[in-house]
Amino acid sequence: MIKRKRLGQHFLNSTSIAKFIVSEAKITKNDTVFEIGTGRGILTPLLCENAAKVISVDLDEELVRGARSKFSNIHNLVLKSGDGLKSNDPFTIFVSNLPYSRSKDAVEWLAQTSFSHGVIMVQKEFAEKLLAKSSKQRKAISIIATSAFDITVLSKVGKNNFSPPPKIDSVVLKIVKKTNLTVDLIQTINKIFSYRRKTIKNILKQFHKETAVDKRVDDLSGEEIVDLANKILEK
């Protein structure tokens, strides 16, 4: 349990919520589903019911061994131990109760990855970052997420639906892929936000570029921030 807490993983223990998540994923026989965080396997067999194939990955080898024993009769399931964010397996649908400690990394990885849509459960605080409307509350991950996906809040999930219970409630989100972002673009957006107190003129100086624009990052729209990142990346 200490190891799982270190990974920021809290196991969903509500079958009704698991069924809701899988239902919202709209899986068909043409789909390959990718799940990060097999955990105790509450989502995994439900994902397999309608999919052509399910690939489920967990960092904890012990949990993967348990899932292999428990689900040995499910023939469209591939179980792997390791870091799902380093996977090159193609998939069409992503479903995950994301470990809290890796939510930002996962969203950045998904922003670079080609797929149709996904259903993810994240910490309420992180969901608020992704969907922040106020320029003061936006983070780099807000711009990355809203550039790459259309995001819809599906449901709030109380902390008592997990074992061990986290300190904060969770939110189920539907993400629909709009476009792929490059790793360079993602890194540049993150760098821009590390200079957010500077003017655009001074930010561009950090990258040996010039502009007459005296606005600050908080004065720009999400699209303008992406345009600024692309300007920085121009050779």
- Show Cβ contacts of residue 165 under 8 Å, excluding neighbours closer than 6 positions: 10, 159
> DSSP string covering 169-231, please?
-EEEEEEEE--PPPHHHHHHHHHHHHTTTSBHHHHHHHTT-------BGGGS-HHHHHHHHHH
Q: Which two tokens stand for residue 116?
A: 């149709």
Residue 123, number of CB atoms within 10 A of its CB: 22
| pLDDT value at 1 more than 90 | no
What CA–CA distance (Å, rounded) separates 122 from 31?
23
pLDDT in tens, 93-148: 999 998 888 999 999 999 999 999 999 999 999 999 999 989 899 999 999 999 99
Q: Which two tokens stand for residue 70?
A: 């428990």
pLDDT in tens, 185-235: 999 999 999 999 899 999 999 888 888 888 999 999 999 999 999 999 997
| pLDDT value at 5 more than 70 | no
Query: Tokens 């300007």 belong to which residue?
Result: 231
Domains in the chain: ranges and CATH: 2-181 (3.40.50.150), 185-233 (no CATH)
Q: Tell me if residue 5 falls in helix, strand or coil.
A: helix
% of the chain with per-residue pLDDT over 70? 96
